């Protein structure tokens, strides 16, 4: 618990710093872009049209990076509503299907037809599952891979979702840093996917954990508490 509280604080603090820095960078960027646009005609007349294009597109890129960074590190409180969980999971599988085809990968759904309705922030919970599946794709690399998405009820109290891949797996060292903000082993990774996922699940009073074996694959498990109503309905059934 202490560890996760520390991680949450660290992420919240980084979010604040990021918001401040992004704000400070955005203002000068906007004025640079404005002045370049004013100079655009002169530069074109000087035969420097290509330079203008590059400057403007690079400025747009910096803006986009700031935007992505901000949305990844933002820790907004969940807006919880009753959501049919099988709907979210089906959406996730559907959204990842074309990526799976491209990557020579199979997504296999192992879910019951219906699952309980839970009080969750639909977008945030969907984002968690998408982050985990995206990592599974990356772990599978180029070999023909399989990703299993399963869900069941555990001990009459929890909805348990498991996402299992047969990718490269990870060692103990990697696993011990997995949920830390900015921890990544990828060349173009941000290291924010699992840190934000961890925080989202914690804000829903749930749990997220991982089991992995190098060369064999990884299983992420997310557990979310059932509402009292769902718990009673299951107990009576």
Binding site for ligand ADP (CB under 6 A): 131, 135-136, 139, 165, 167-170, 174, 178, 183-186, 189-195, 218
Which of 187/228 has CB closer to ligand ADP? 187
Q: How many CA atoms lie within 13 A of 80 on its CB side?
A: 12
Which of 121/165 has CB closer to ligand ADP? 165
CB of 221 to ligand ADP, least distance (A): 12
> In whole angstroms, what is the distance from residue 194 CA to residue 200 CA?
10
Which of 86/166 has CB closer to ligand ADP? 166
Instruction: Pull the structure tokens for residue 186.
Output: 């990828």
172 Cβ contact list (under 8 Å, min separation 6): none
CB of 202 to ligand ADP, least distance (A): 15
Helix and strand tally (H, E) in the chain?
7, 7
Q: Nearest 5 degrees, angle CA 198-CA 122-CA 97?
A: 85
Which of 169/225 has CB closer to ligand ADP? 169
CB of 190 to ligand ADP, least distance (A): 4
CB of 152 to ligand ADP, least distance (A): 20
């Amino acid at each position: 618990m202490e560890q996760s509280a520390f991680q949450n604080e660290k992420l919240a603090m980084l979010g604040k710093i990021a918001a401040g820095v992004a704000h400070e960078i955005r203002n000068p960027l906007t004025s640079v872009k404005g002045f370049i646009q004013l100079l655009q005609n002169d530069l074109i007349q000087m035969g420097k049209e290509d330079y203008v294009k590059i400057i403007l597109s690079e400025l747009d890129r910096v803006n986009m990076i700031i935007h992505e960074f901000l949305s990844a590190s933002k820790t907004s409180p969940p807006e919880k509503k009753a959501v049919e969980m099988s709907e979210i999971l089906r959406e996730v599988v559907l959204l990842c299907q074309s990526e799976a085809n491209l990557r020579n990968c199979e997504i296999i759904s192992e879910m019951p037809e219906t699952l309980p309705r839970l009080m969750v922030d639909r977008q945030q919970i969907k984002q968690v599952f998408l982050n985990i599946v995206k990592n599974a794709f990356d772990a599978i690399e180029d070999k023909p891979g399989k990703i299993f998405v399963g869900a069941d009820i555990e001990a009459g109290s929890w909805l348990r979702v498991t996402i299992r891949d047969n990718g490269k797996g990870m060692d103990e060292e990697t696993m011990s840093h997995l949920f830390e903000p900015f921890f990544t082993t990828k060349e173009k990774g941000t290291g924010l996917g699992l840190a934000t996922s961890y925080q989202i699940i914690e804000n829903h009073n749930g749990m997220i954990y991982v089991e992995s074996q190098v060369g064999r694959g990884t299983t992420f498990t997310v557990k979310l508490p059932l509402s009292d109503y769902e718990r009673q309905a299951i107990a009576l059934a």
